[in-house]
């Protein structure tokens, strides 16, 4: 069967309503069409999935078109599952084009990008280059992913800012993704490299491997905002989220997946997975914000606005706005911090809902200071004791650099 050409936008609206009216129909949380890279030795291994466009809780009319195109092509779309992946066939493209017909002439630039994807695939099909490397992905729930394609659409959602950090279910993602050798945008199956090592090297064809990882680099898939700078592509992993204005310097910097910034931030240190840094903050050279697997007892760390993490400092607790952690010191949940009465009173002024008993000598654990505003963490150079006082200076980024 085939979808009859939809002539007008009014007819398109009626078409959408008729498909959505079928029993059990469910709008997808996410959907998109990708091109996959398969293993050079084992084609059943999907090494990565490249999406020119993803849809996350949006463009439900386009989802209807793809679902109808699959159904009319003989595929069964099971709305009771959490996700489904289909090959893109010539019939699917022809059906989708027929449904999108009223919008084909307008599908340029930023307009109707899902239509542009189908139109591009039509050209690929016409050149007889459409194969089983092109796939349609639907997520009907944000459940633990079951396929490489599902993992990638979620990583895209994070890196494109369509989904908030820590809001996406990536449980089991590491077990689904393959560990591959990356040469630019091309992944190589490790078993294939081992099997062909002699021939590749003797013929001068051995690839220049840049990394071996389950995740690609951010810049292999994402075009950042014009005022975002990443000075070394190896420093940001796919699935990271960088707010416009963020600068990631070379050296000791790194931004892991499901971590990133919510405003213009200077990054010269490590933002581990699940860590989030607020606007105007500066993660100093070699500083490390711990992730949920590295000393935070499973509690994700959020850094507030206008915070300065000094060079080679370590932070394992959330920090409120306007905090400073001096260079070279570690503030963890169990770190004992001394605060004098007068300084604690000043800190309480910017944390009015903080119910803490004030004494002449206050020794608090780092976890008790988690998320509080305006604290300057220091180390007594005579005794080595970690101390805290009310921060007396505002952290400002150089506007010319952001």
Residues with catalytic annotation? Answer: 268
CA trace torsion 194, 200, 201, 205 (10° rounding): -130
Tokens of 297: 């007892």
State the pairing for strand pair 302-303/324-325: unpaired
Report residue 6: phi and psi, to 5°. -85, 120
User: Could you give the angle at which helices 113-126 and 60-72 cross, rounded to 10 degrees?
Assistant: 30
Contact status, residue 169 vs residue 159, Cβ threshold 8 Å: no
Query: Cα separation of 34 and 19, whole Å?
Result: 24
Distances (CA, A) of 242 to 226, 263, 270: 12, 8, 14
CA nearest neighbour of 324 among 341, 342, 340, 306: 306
Least Cα distance to 384 among 312, 342, 328, 317 occurs for: 328
CA distance 239 to 254: 13
Q: How many residues does the chain have?
A: 402
Bridge-partner residues for 122, per DSSP?
none
Largest CA distance in the chain: 83
Number of H helices, E strands in the chain: 8, 26
Q: At what angle do helices 60-72 and 90-100 cross, to 10 degrees?
A: 130
User: Residues 19, 22, 28, 33: what is their CA dihedral angle, to the nearest 10 degrees?
Assistant: -50
CA angle 160, 161, 162 (to 5 degrees): 95
């Amino acid at each position: 069967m085939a979808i009859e050409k939809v002539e007008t936008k009014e007819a398109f609206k009626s078409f959408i309503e008729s498909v959505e009216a079928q029993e059990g129909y469910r709008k997808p949380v996410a959907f998109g069409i990708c091109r996959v890279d398969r293993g050079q030795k084992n084609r059943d291994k999907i090494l990565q999935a490249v999406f020119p466009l993803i849809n996350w809780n949006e463009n439900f009319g386009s989802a209807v078109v793809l679902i109808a195109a699959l159904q009319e092509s003989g595929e069964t779309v099971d709305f009771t599952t959490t996700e489904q992946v289909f090959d893109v066939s010539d019939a699917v493209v022809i059906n989708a084009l027929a449904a999108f017909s009223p919008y084909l002439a307008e599908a340029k630039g930023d307009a109707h990008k899902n239509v542009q994807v189908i139109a591009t695939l039509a050209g690929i099909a016409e050149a007889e280059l459409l194969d089983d490397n092109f796939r349609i992905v639907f997520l009907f729930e944000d459940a633990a992913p079951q396929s490489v394609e599902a993992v990638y659409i979620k990583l895209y959602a994070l890196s494109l800012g369509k989904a908030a950090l820590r809001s996406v279910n990536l449980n089991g993602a590491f077990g689904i993704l393959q560990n591959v050798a990356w040469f630019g945008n091309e992944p190589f199956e490790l078993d294939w490299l081992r099997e062909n090592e002699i021939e590749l090297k003797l013929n001068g064809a051995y690839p220049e491997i840049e990394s071996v990882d389950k995740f690609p680099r951010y810049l292999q898939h994402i075009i950042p905002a014009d005022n975002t700078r990443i000075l070394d592509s190896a420093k940001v992993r796919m699935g990271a989220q960088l707010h416009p204005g963020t600068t990631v310097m070379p050296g000791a910097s790194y931004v892991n997946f499901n971590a990133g910034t919510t405003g213009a931030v200077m990054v010269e240190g490590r933002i581990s997975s699940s860590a989030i840094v607020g606007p105007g903050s500066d993660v100093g050279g070699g500083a490390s914000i711990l992730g949920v697997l590295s000393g935070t007892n499973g509690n994700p760390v959020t850094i507030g606005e206008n915070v300065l993490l000094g060079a080679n400092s370590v932070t394992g607790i959330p920090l409120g706005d306007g905090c400073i952690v001096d260079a070279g010191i570690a503030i963890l949940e169990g770190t004992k911090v001394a605060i004098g009465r007068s300084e604690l009173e000043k800190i309480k002024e910017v944390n009015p809902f903080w119910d803490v008993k004030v004494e002449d000598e206050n020794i608090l654990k780092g976890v008790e200071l988690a998320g509080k505003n305006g604290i300057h963490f220091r180390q007594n150079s005579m005794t080595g004791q970690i101390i805290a006082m009310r921060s007396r200076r505002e952290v400002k980024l150089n506007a010319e650099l952001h």
